[in-house]
Chain A
Amino acid sequence: MWYTELIEVSLTRRHVFWHSGAMHRVDPISSMIERSAPEDCAVTVIDCRRPPLTREHDLDVQAIAERRANLLVLTNVDQLLRARRGHAWLRQLRAPVMRHLDEGVTVLVASNAPRRCFPAIDGSSVATDCYQYIMRSDAHDALKSMFLDSERLDWPMKECAGSRAVAAALLGADPGLSRRERADFVAKELRRTVSAALLECGAEVLAWVEDEFLLRRHHSFRFDEIPADVQETMRSAGLADVDAATDTLRIFPNIHKAAAADAIVLANSAISEAPDEWETAARLLFEFERLLRRIIDYHVQSHQHLRKSTIQSYEDKILSNYRYDTGVNEKDVDQVPLPWNWVDLSDLFSLAEQFAMDQRLAGLTARAWQRAHEDILPFRNRIQHMRLPRPGEIERLRILIRELRLSLSNDVN
């Protein structure tokens, strides 16, 4: 059985979140879970791709609460993150889940997306405020428990890289394949499964893996070197493990490095539409740059001696950017409407650092503006060139914007 330990841990811990990522997922997942449960354990599965709904398209809370089971399994819960009313359904799900838990029913929440993808909500989250089961890459043990003949088991045992999904695919392969065909089959399955697992982890984690594994060729990390949510996601996805002896995180521990690199490239090339994280980054960068222009403009306008000199010091750049963008051959900077719109972000940062030398600007010291400069500019350039945001960059920008807004609102008050 593929999921014996998962079921055992769920029945022990009672409310469990499982990242049912591509490396671990053997379809059809519902029946695979049901088959792994003990004989006397009544399992009820609710597939969140088709949750029970009322006529008004709300979650049918009553119907869920009335399902009888020892183990209630919610599969594909990540679908609620994408459905139009999904966030409301996640909220509505809490009451029936709590009722089941009150009655001693075990609740297993299975999501193809990791825990980091679930938003921080107001109340308790049925998806994330519980024990997280991190599945080990031990498909070999699951295979051994299946009592198949050794001839059939040898190949998957050797080549599955600990992944249940790959093992299941190899078990289902044509036994008549030649040695070469078998090698191709394994390579293709691994590449497909690992890249799917990476895509499920989200754009930021994929960007981190690209940076560290492909560009810097790092395979093992101290825990304090990695953002907490990244290491948790990589482990829960079956793409990393902990080396207990050195207390380090190893990525792609069971996969040939060239195969892992192929999978990363495949995952990256599969992204042709802007991921949510990229859209958020672009929106926040827009907001930040507009805010920064306003801050600079306000400061200049309120300091008589800066009005003329500041614009003049950027005259050439303003005029050149203006001409390039509009095609209007303007020669007088005073005739350029909204001149700050034609100043580069790096120059705006330099001005902010300069203005903050003697007195905080929008609540930030010159040192803080310099740090923001160092952080934001490369981030903006990456987003501008359609690359993916790295973990923590969006949150850091969000914090910075909040700090500026707080300072501005305080000035108004």
Chain B
Amino acid sequence: MREYALFLGCLIPARLPSLEAVSVKVLERFGIGTKPMIGASCCPDPIVMKSLDYKAWLAIAARNLSIAEEMKLDVLTLCSGCFSTLSKANKVLKENSNLKNEIGGFLSEINRGFLGTINVRQVAEVIREIGQEAIKQRLQRTLEQLRVATQHGCHLVRPSDVLHVDDPNRPTILDEIVSWVGAKPIDYPLKMLCCGVGIKAIDPETNLVMLREKLESIKEAEANCIVTPCPFCFIQFDMGQREVNRKFNERYAFPVFYITELLGLAVGLSPEEIGLQFHTTPVKEV
């Protein structure tokens, strides 16, 4: 059984715990084990903390990596923000000796050290590794009625000097997984447009315009749901649709699935077991 150090982060365990529960459950079905990282903190996020104090950001990320290094396991992240931070920090600390020494000095003060012995993985990658055959063998429910707009999000694939999951501008990893479970991936013009969560706190109005454009593009392509491997994109679409509808008098109602929720449906978990009742945008009969 393949085992990972599960990095929970903040958004999922604190705000979207149903995604944590379903991810662990679904991965187990495919023989992928997860161990908790005792004492892990926020990654910290690659937009706010990295901007306010780069060295504090790097030091805290290094501490989180050191926990997985002690466990001698690669890190599995359920969040693309955590994936971005931990991957970038891992690379910087391996390649930049000045920063490695400075951060190493901080770490030694708390009796820790950065070794550079592990890798960081995102859940979408790990699911792709399960492979089409293994997934097909476990399919219990037909999802052919789902016309899926995939939202890869930014921090799964970019920057390409750090992340090597897929093509940084035209990724297809989610479309592949979607087709493996029998659903239909739908291409749409604004597929790679950012969800805009990075400016939500600074310019919420522009963020809603961005979301609306994206939702309109999905509607025009005649998709009937959205799938994403990032909890920030998930919240942007699941809750953001309601905000867009209020602000612009629209009626978008696309159910949003986190990638392991879709897989959970495919392998026969009930909507309640998956936690679909906790979504803001209701998931109708699937």
A binds B: no
- Residues on A lying within 8 angstroms of B by beta carbon are none
- Residues on B lying within 8 angstroms of A by beta carbon are none
